Amino acid sequence: MDTKKQKIKLYDTTLRDGMQAEGISFSLEDKIAIARCLDELGIDYIEGGYSASNPKDMEFFSRIRELRLKNAKIVAFGSTRRADSTVSDDASLRAIWECKTAAATLVGKTWDMHVTDVLKCSLDENLKICSESIEYLKAKGVETFFDAEHFYDGYKRNPAYSMKVLQSAAQAGAEGLVLCDTNGGCLPEEIYQITLDVVKEFSGCQIGIHVHNDSDCATANTLAAVRAGANHVQGTINGIGERCGNANLCTLIPNLTFKMGFETLSREKLKTLTEVSRFVFEIANVTPVMNMPYVGESAFAHKAGLHVNALRKNKQTYEHLDPESVGNERRFLISELSGKSNVLAKLEKYHLAKDAELAQKILQRVQELENNGWQFEAADASFELLVSKIMGTYKPSFELVKYHVIAEQRAGNGSVTEATVKLRVGDKIELVVGEGDGPVNALDGALRKSLDKHYPGLKDMHLFDYKVRVVNARAGTAAKVRVIIESRDKNSIWGTVGVSENIIEASWLALVDSVEYKIQKDRKK
C-alpha cells in the first residue's frame, strides 16, 4: 500500500480526555492557550470539552469563537440522547448545538452489555438513540463524528451487534466512525484484525481510532489500526488522560510521518513538536517525562562512551532519527561512566577547544567530583563553567565575602527566613538582606538583588526547579546532599549542581553557578 499520499486526520482531545487525568485541571485561559498552540502546530480537530458538563467548557466554546484559528476545527463533545428523552429536549445535544462549533463528536454504546446493563434499554432502542442523535446534529449542519465507545470489547463479545451500531451511525450521516478501545485492554493484533473488518465493511467512510493506554499499547494499537486502514487518529499531547492515559500524539505523529510515510504535519511544524510537548507539561504543572520518545529530554541523550565515540563518527549509529526533525537536541552526558569521547563531544557542542589532553583532564576531574557526590547529567551549565576553569579562561563576575542565613519560627505567625549576602563586585562591596519562604529562596533573592545593578540581564532569569538528593544516606545527619537547580530566561534553560554536607552550602554553590552562567552567557552575546 502506497501511504505517502495518504492524509491522516489528527484529532486532539487534550482539553477533554486529557483533563480527566488525575491531578490535571486546566483553567479557561489554559485551555485557550493550549488550543492556540495546537492550532499553530497544525492539528486538524481540537476537542474543546464536554459541553454539557460544566460552565467553564461552555465559556471556552464562546471565547474560542472570537479567535481566528488558522488550521483546526473546534469540536464539541457530548453523548447520544438519553434513553428517556427525545432529541429535541436532550440536555447533551442541546448543549452541543449551543456551542456553535463546526464539528461535534457523539459518544454512543456499541457493546451490548453496556446497552442492557448501563443504558437499561433494548438493543434496538440503542440503534434508534444513535441514529436520531446524529440526524439531529446533521440537520443543523454540524460535521458529526460517532465515537463507538467500547467498540473492540463489544465486537469480541457480539460482532454482529457492534457492526449494526456502526451501520446505524453511518446511515444517519456520521462523517466518521471512531472505534474506541475505551478500557485500553486490547493488543495490537486484535486492533488490527477488527479494524480491518470494519474498513472492509464501511469502505466509503472515514474510520477513526481512539485508544487508552491501560495495557501500555496505545501507540502500538493506534498504528495497527492505521495499518488496517483507519485514517483518523485521536490522542492527547504527552498521552495524558483518564487512568493510564490516551494515545500520545507526540509519539504517534512522528511514527506516522517518518516511519510509515503518511501525511500528517508539515516538516516545519514537526520541528516544533518538542516545544509543544513541553508547553503542555508546563501549563498542566506536570514534570516532563524525561524518557518520552522523540520529545523527552533524554530521547537523544547519550552516556556510554562507546556510543558517543560512534556518534561522533556517524550520527546514525545510535540514533534512529535526527533530533532536530522533531525540535529536540542531541545531548552527551558526563559521568564517571564517560570516556574521552563524551568530553570531546561536549567540547564540540560548546565550541571549545578539541584537545585530547584537555579532555583527559576534564574527565579525570569529573570522575573525582562524581566520586564525591557531584553529578553533571542535569547540570550542563556547571559543567561548562568547570571546563572554563580547567582551561584557565574563567573570570568570576563576583566574589563571596560572606553569607548569613537566619530561620525564625514565631508562635502563631509562621516562619520568617532572612539571608544576608556580602559580595565583592569589581572594586565595590555589596551588602544585601533578602527575605524568602526558606533559606534557598532568601539566598537567591539576596544574591540577585546585590547583582542586579551590575548585571541587568539577571532580571530576565528565574529559578523554576529545585531538587535535593541525599548522596550517602548511611552517614545519617552527616550525609552529603546534592542540589540540582534549573533556571531559565527568555531563550534557554540550564541546570547547575552543588554538593556539601550542609544543604544551604550545596544550594549556594548551585545558585552561584546558575547566576554566573547567566552572566557569562549574556557577555558572549
Task: Tell me the pLDDT of the chain (525 aa) as tens digits.
Answer: 444 568 999 999 999 999 999 999 999 999 999 999 999 999 999 999 998 778 889 999 999 998 889 999 999 999 999 999 999 999 999 999 999 999 999 999 999 999 999 999 999 999 999 999 999 999 999 999 999 999 999 999 999 999 999 999 999 999 999 999 999 999 999 999 999 999 999 998 999 999 999 999 999 999 999 999 999 999 999 999 999 999 999 999 999 999 999 999 999 999 999 999 988 988 888 878 989 999 998 898 887 777 767 877 788 888 999 999 999 988 776 665 555 566 666 676 665 556 777 877 887 888 888 888 888 877 889 988 998 898 888 999 999 999 999 988 766 667 788 999 999 999 999 999 998 888 888 999 999 899 999 999 999 898 888 888 887 756 555 678 999 998 988 878 898 999 999 999 999 999 999 999 999 999 887
- What per-residue confidence (pLDDT) applies to 3? 47
Nearest to 73 by CA among 94, 45, 97: 45
In one-letter notation, the amino acid at residue 204 is G
The Cα 391–Cα 350 span in angstroms is: 13
**48 within 8 A of 75, measured Cβ to Cβ:** yes
The Cα 37–Cα 458 span in angstroms is: 28
Grid cell at residue 99: 456551542
- What per-residue confidence (pLDDT) applies to 438? 87
The Cα 375–Cα 333 span in angstroms is: 10
What would the 3-class secondary structure string for 104-120 be? EEEEEECCHHHHHHHHC
Largest CA distance in the chain: 88
- What per-residue confidence (pLDDT) applies to 345? 67
- DSSP label at 330? -
Other C-beta atoms lying within 10 Å of the C-beta of residue 406:
12
Give, in order, the Cα–Cα distances in Å from 248 to each of 149, 284, 326, 372: 19, 15, 15, 40
Other C-beta atoms lying within 10 Å of the C-beta of residue 367:
15
In one-letter notation, the amino acid at residue 1 is M
The Cα 45–Cα 30 span in angstroms is: 18
The Cα 183–Cα 194 span in angstroms is: 16
Instruction: Report the predicted TM-score, pTM, of the whole model to 2 decimal places.
Output: 0.73
- What per-residue confidence (pLDDT) applies to 361? 84
Tell me the backbone φ, ψ of residue 208, rounded to 5 degrees: -110, 170
Grid cell at residue 520: 557569562
Q: Which residues contact 112 (CB under 8 A, 6 or more apart)?
A: 123, 154, 157, 158, 161, 162
The Cα 232–Cα 40 span in angstroms is: 19
Q: Which residues contact 464 (CB under 8 A, 6 or more apart)?
A: 486, 487, 488
- What per-residue confidence (pLDDT) applies to 195? 98
- What per-residue confidence (pLDDT) applies to 263? 96
Q: Which residues contact 291 (CB under 8 A, 6 or more apart)?
A: 298, 299
Strand ranges for 13-158 from DSSP E: 45-50, 73-79, 103-109, 143-149
Domain boundaries, the chain: 9-284, 301-368, 399-524
Nearest to 523 by CA among 433, 388, 336, 355: 388
CATH of 399-524, one of 3.90.1150.10, 3.40.50.300, 3.30.160.270, 3.30.200.20: 3.30.160.270
* Mode of pairing for the β-strands spanning 481-488 and 493-500: antiparallel
* Residue 44: strand, helix, or coil: coil
Q: Which residues contact 42 (CB under 8 A, 6 or more apart)?
A: 10, 71, 265, 266, 269
**178 within 8 A of 146, measured Cβ to Cβ:** yes
Matching fold, domains 9-284 and 399-524: no
Instruction: Tell me the CATH class for 9-284.
Output: alpha beta
- What per-residue confidence (pLDDT) applies to 80? 96
